[in-house]
Every structure is written in C-alpha cells, then in structure tokens.
A = this chain, B = another copy of it.
Amino acid sequence: MKRVLLTLEYDGTGYAGWQRQLNGLGVQEVLENALRDACGEPITVTGASRTDGGVHARGQCAHFDTASRIPPDRFPFVLNTRLPGDIRVTESREVPPAFHARFLSAGKRYTYRIENARHGSALTRLYAAHVPVPLDLIAMQASLPSLLGTHDFAAFQASGGTARTTVRTLRLAELRREGSLLVLTVEGNAFLYNMVRIIAGTLMEIGLGKRAPDAFTRAFATKDRLALGLTAPPQGLELTRVYYDPEAFVHPEKLRWHREEKEDAT
C-alpha cells in the first residue's frame, strides 16, 4: 500500500464542483472512476481544496492510497488517457503514509479574473466575471494592503462556513490589469468558505464606488458579513497552487495538522 499525491488542472465549467455529490458530477468522482479503472481497486481521493461548481483549478492537489504496482510518478500518463480533456493530471509522486493533501497544506494561491469591458467577452465568459462599467483600479489596489497579515476573517465567509477558527493569514493580495482583464492574486495559509469570492465581490463594489476602500478594515472590526460586497461568481475563480512544507514529503508526522484551519477551505 502506498500513498500518492497528484497535481491536477481542471476546467470547472462542466462540473458541480470538486466533491462527489448528488446534485451533479464532481471532479473527484470522475478522477476516482479513472483511478479504479487504472488500479483495479476502489479508490477514494482527498483534495486539498473543495472548489465549488464552475471554479477552475490550475494546481489542485489530491492524495489517495493504492496497492497497485503502477510506479507513483506514472499517474499522469495512466490517468490522462482515461480522463476527459477538461481534467488533466500534471504531476504525481509517492508521499509518506502520514501525508495529507488538505490538513498539511501550508498555503494556497487563488486567482480571480474580472473582464471589465462594456460588452463582455465570448472568449473569457467561462473564466472571468463580467463587469460592464469601468472599475477604478487605483481604489481597488489601495484597499488590498489592509488584507495582508493575520486577521479574524469572520465576516469573509458564506453562511455555510463551519470553521472552528476564522483567523487566517494572507501573505499576498495583488491586482493587475491585463488588457481588459483585471487579475486578482491572493495567497494565504488557508481560506474560509467563499472567502476569495467575497474579497473579489467587495473589490468590484470598491471599484464601482459603491463601497469605500477601507471596507476590509471595517469588516475586520465589525465581523459583519454585510460590511462586505456580494459573493463574486464562481467562473472567475481559479485555485492556482497548493503549497506544502518540504518536511511534509519526508516527515509529515512532525508537522501539526491544520485540521481546525482547513475544515472549510474553498
């Protein structure tokens, strides 16, 4: 029996999200079916992040256990022939039995894209939110430094959130223009349910002049969800990368499991 870690890319358009679920097809289910077919045994995968329906991933990570003799680094080749084109395995490696894709993740990077053009775009409609009114990029950028560091992000979660603690640390929050796209990049130790989409929705309202650039600071003080903007639509969001401490690949048992912080990461 060995534990294998996969790195995955997927186009979330056709899926009801990462998780196996009743109301639609989850990426997890498609992956587990391909693994069962390849390994000849039922396999359950555990993802680092439970992305919502329509959310994309460039670097999702997921682990599973198998008794098969497939060399651990061969899973991209073995699985990509069995998976649809909108799910690709880009890397695989053996990890110690105590490794855990979700509870040991040391951080994640998400990207959120906003198409800011009057008439929307046929080419980015599945990969960006559309805002038809010109956004004030400077005001949006000015609000971002207040997100950095360790804060209680209690106001930054959808009502379904069940995290034991809502304290999170962001180490990167950056917004840049690429043609008609505004591209938000955030990186932190962990994220609450819908946290990135709430940050993106608030930024849009700041850019529209509907909300002051100190909205994030106020939300930290009041812990009030209503101090922030609407949850931005899923198709703009991409899980870009999952980070692990190098020790996680060698002596994972020495690391503290961040179970309480990772309970509801988006």
By a beta-carbon cutoff of 8 Å, the part of chain A in contact with chain B is 9-11, 56, 58, 76, 80, 85-90, 117-123, 125, 127, 238
Contact = CB atoms under 8 A, between A and B. Distances in A.
A119 B89 contact: yes
A138 to B, nearest CB: 25
Given A86-B125, A125-B85, A125-B86, A80 B9 contact: no
Contact of A85 (B11, B120, B238): B120
Copies per complex?
Answer: 2
A127 B122 CA distance: 12
Contacts of A119: 76, 80, 88-90
Contacts of A123: 9-11, 56, 58, 127, 238
Nearest to A77: B119
Contacts of A85: 120, 122, 125
Nearest to A7: B119
B80 A120 contact: yes
A76 B118 contact: yes
Contacts of A117: 90
B121 A88 contact: yes
Contacts of A87: 122
Contacts of A11: 122-123, 125
B122 A88 contact: yes
A75 to B, nearest CB: 10
Given A9-B122, A56-B123, 12 more contacts: A9-B123, A10-B123, A11-B125, A58-B123, A76-B118, A80-B119, A85-B125, A88-B119, A88-B121, A88-B122, A90-B118, A90-B119
